[in-house]
Amino acid sequence: MTFRRSLLWIVIAFVLVCAWTAFLYAHGGGLDAYGCHNNRKAGGYHCHRGPVAGQSFASKEEMLKKLSADKTDTPQKTTKR
């Protein structure tokens, strides 16, 4: 084989490895309006975006309870006149 052909095979192999690696790390779980989705393999519900990003819950209902509690716990800003 010539040097050019060897280099071509190396480049092709590199591209395939990069594409395969990206495929392995990505998951196709669509996110809902809260930026979360069900974990079908391990169970539960976890969030990638939104106000509870990075957190896991037993269910979507648990996440909604947390969101509701966070909204009622935050003090409201008042303006003095």
Look at residues 62, 34, 73 and name the one whose alpha carbon lies nearest to residue 50. 34
Average the pLDDT over 24-35 and give the result: 73
6, 13 Cβ separation under 8 angstroms: no
Look at residues 63, 69, 65 and name the one whose alpha carbon lies nearest to residue 49. 63
| DSSP-based three-state secondary structure for 56 | strand
Average the pLDDT over 54-80 and give the result: 81
Give me the pLDDT at residue 60, please: 92
Whether residue 36 is predicted with pLDDT greater than 60 in this model: the reply is: yes
